[in-house]
Amino acid sequence: MPNYITVRLSDDHTAGTTVGGPTPKASVADNDLAVGRVVDAVSHSAYWDDTAVFILEDDAQNGADHVDAHRSLAWW
């Protein structure tokens, strides 16, 4: 297992008003499901005791952050 992994969930709920596209609620639900599946997979693996999972939301409202696509706030 690598020491660091970044996972980007790309369902953009702001695109949910596009004709034929998923609704905003469906996009948010897809991302929530994906987070749950990642945490479930890691928590049932041999790596769980040594793993930290940080979940950040960067809601730039139409693509990556205009300053830095890796910028997010973290509170602890």
For the chain, the average pLDDT equals 78
Tokens of 52: 């930290």
Higher pLDDT, 22 or 70: 22
Q: Which helix (H) or strand (E) holds 36?
A: helix 24-43
Q: What is the pLDDT of residue 76?
A: 59
Tokens of 35: 């987070």
Contact predicate 39/52, CB 8 Å: no
Dihedral angle sign, alpha carbons of residues 6, 10, 11, 12 = positive
In the predicted model, is pLDDT for residue 39 greater than 90?
yes
Q: Under DSSP, is residue 32 helix (H, G, I), strand (E, B) or coil?
A: helix
In the predicted model, is pLDDT for residue 35 greater than 70?
yes
